[in-house]
């Protein structure tokens, strides 16, 4: 719930910042190559599970005339279509959402129509939905959520990209939003396709033993909710002194360590665990709200395996823990032996 609340607040702040930049004339657009079909396929993969869960079919049809590669601002193009698909899924209870993409070679204009079979909008309210902080009716914010900035930002971005965003709709018959943007077609022979990013699969945490150290009860509860479904055994303690004590009793596959805690902080606890005992070589992962470079440097000096910041990114946390458990370093030699 905290993560969801944080994401909502971050989304609102980003919308307000984007709108402020546009209003001030300080929104800078990029111009880079983009594979149209790949971008649309990624958006479909992103929204299809949500649509399907609501009993709604999502389809994307790209006309053969559409160039494979164009030059535009990929991030802003994606942002506009993301907003349109988000609204289509939000306001469609059953039926279908269809995205039709076309190309006008004479004007170098790319057109994307997002049609849904949702609740629709009254004709006298069409213009107002593109105003900032406005939705079709006063009850929409309470019923569906949202800030009322998405369409206002999307239209202004489309206009900044040499196009526009318009809508047609009727209550009970769905809506069609039409995005047009002026782009430059790129010759396939000149297009540079970025190499696909290969992400290693998350290493399983099943059966792993994790020591998690955090002085806040809510944080410990969140860690339990996030990690226990992975099948790991979680030992929770609330300060560095308890962490040192627990680490001296049994070996762990990985240790999650907070920074600022009463009794003993995370840095001192890490140094003491590193000094000897069954966890002298156990990967320690810093998990802290202290995210400045000076804090990261202090953790590096203490010898941590990785540095993660709060609020917690759940997939990144699981992946980092899995990799740490799989790459556990061999036990260090005792200082006396090393000196000899």
Q: What is the mean predicted confidence (pLDDT) over 63-91?
A: 89
CATH number at residue 303: 3.40.50.2300
How many residues can be counted in the chain? Answer: 340
Q: Mean pLDDT, the chain, as a whole number?
A: 81
pLDDT 10s digits, 91-140: 888 899 999 999 999 999 999 999 999 888 887 777 778 775 444 444 44
Residue 18 has, within 13 A of its CA and on its CB side, a CA count of: 22
pLDDT 10s digits, 81-91: 988 988 898 88
- Same domain (yes/no): 150, 102: yes
**pLDDT, position 203:** 66
Element (H, E) at 32: strand 32-35
pLDDT 10s digits, 135-187: 444 444 334 444 457 788 888 889 989 999 999 988 888 899 999 999 999 87
Confidence of residue 334 (pLDDT cuts 50, 70, 90): very low
Quick check: is 192 in a domain? no
Instruction: Report the number of distinct structural domains present in the chain.
Output: 2
CATH number at residue 51: 3.30.565.10
pLDDT 10s digits, 190-221: 555 444 444 444 568 889 999 999 998 888 88
Quick check: is 334 in a domain? no
- Same domain (yes/no): 128, 45: yes
Residue at a domain's end among 131, 152, 185: 185
Quick check: is 336 in a domain? no
Quick check: is 200 in a domain? no
Q: Is residue 301's pLDDT more than 70? A: yes
- Same domain (yes/no): 63, 152: yes
Quick check: is 308 in a domain? yes
pLDDT 10s digits, 261-286: 999 999 999 999 999 999 999 999 99
Residue 199 Rama label (left phi>0; alpha psi -120 to 50; beta) = beta
**pLDDT, position 332:** 39
**pLDDT, position 71:** 92
Q: Is residue 58's pLDDT more than 80? A: yes
Quick check: is 154 in a domain? yes
Cβ atoms of 325 and 255 closer than 8 Å: no
- Same domain (yes/no): 175, 128: yes
- Same domain (yes/no): 179, 221: no
- Same domain (yes/no): 217, 312: yes
**pLDDT, position 132:** 55
Q: What is the mean predicted confidence (pLDDT) over 65-81?
A: 89
CA 329 to chain centre: 31
How far apart, in Å, are the Cα atoms of 87 and each of 3, 7, 11, 109, 129? 22, 17, 15, 24, 12
**pLDDT, position 24:** 62
- Same domain (yes/no): 162, 240: no
Q: What is the mean predicted confidence (pLDDT) over 72-85?
A: 86
Q: Is residue 238's pLDDT more than 60? A: yes
**pLDDT, position 180:** 95
**pLDDT, position 228:** 86
Cα 325 from Cα 10, distance rounded (Å): 32
Please name which of 60, 149, 50 lies closest in space to residue 113, comparing C-alpha atoms: 60
Residue at a domain's end among 170, 185, 200: 185
- Same domain (yes/no): 317, 268: yes
- Same domain (yes/no): 26, 142: yes
- Same domain (yes/no): 178, 315: no
pTM above 0.75, yes or no: no
Q: Is residue 305's pLDDT more than 60? A: yes
- Same domain (yes/no): 226, 162: no
Quick check: is 57 in a domain? yes
Task: Name the residue range of residue 67's domain.
Answer: 13-185
- Same domain (yes/no): 174, 236: no
Quick check: is 165 in a domain? yes
Please name which of 261, 251, 232 lies closest in space to residue 322, comparing C-alpha atoms: 232
Burial of 233 (0-12, 13-18, 19+ CB in 10 A): middle
**pLDDT, position 268:** 93
CA 276 to chain centre: 39
Q: Among residues of the chain, what percentage have pLDDT more than 70?
A: 78
Q: Among residues of the chain, what percentage have pLDDT more than 90?
A: 35
Q: Is residue 340's pLDDT more than 80? A: no
């Amino acid at each position: 719930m905290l993560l969801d609340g944080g994401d909502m607040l971050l989304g609102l702040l980003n919308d307000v910042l984007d709108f402020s930049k546009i209003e001030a004339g300080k929104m800078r657009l990029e111009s880079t190559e983009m594979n149209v079909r790949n971008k649309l396929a990624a958006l479909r993969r992103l929204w299809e599970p949500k649509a399907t869960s609501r009993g709604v079919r999502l389809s994307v049809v790209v006309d053969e005339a559409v160039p494979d590669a164009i030059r535009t601002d990929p991030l802003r193009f994606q942002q506009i279509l993301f907003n349109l698909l988000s609204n289509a899924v939000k306001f469609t209870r059953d039926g279908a959402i269809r995205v039709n993409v076309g190309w006008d070679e004479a004007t170098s204009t790319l057109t994307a129509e997002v049609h849904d079979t949702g609740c629709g909008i009254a004709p006298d309210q069409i213009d107002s939905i593109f105003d900032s902080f406005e939705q079709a009716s006063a009850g929409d914010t309470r019923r569906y959520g949202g800030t009322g900035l998405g369409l206002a930002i999307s239209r202004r971005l489309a206009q900044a990209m040499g196009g526009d965003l318009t809508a047609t709709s009727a209550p009970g018959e769905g809506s069609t939003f039409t995005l047009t943007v002026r782009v430059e077609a790129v010759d396939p022979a000149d297009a540079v396709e970025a190499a696909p990013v290969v992400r290693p699969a998350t290493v399983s945490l099943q059966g792993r033993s994790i020591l998690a150290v955090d002085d806040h009860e809510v944080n410990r509860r969140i860690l339990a909710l996030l990690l226990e479904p992975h099948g790991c055994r979680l030992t929770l303690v609330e300060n560095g002194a308890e962490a040192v004590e627990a680490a001296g009793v049994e070996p762990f596959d990985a240790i999650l360590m907070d920074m600022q805690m009463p009794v003993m902080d995370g840095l001192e606890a890490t140094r003491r665990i590193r000094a000897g005992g069954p966890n002298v070589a156990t990967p320690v992962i810093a998990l802290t709200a202290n995210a400045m470079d000076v804090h990261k440097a202090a953790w590096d000096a203490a010898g941590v395996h990785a540095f993660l910041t709060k609020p917690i990114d759940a997939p990144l946390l699981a992946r980092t823990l899995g990799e740490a458990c799989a790459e556990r370093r061999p036990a260090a030699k005792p200082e006396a032996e090393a000196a000899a």
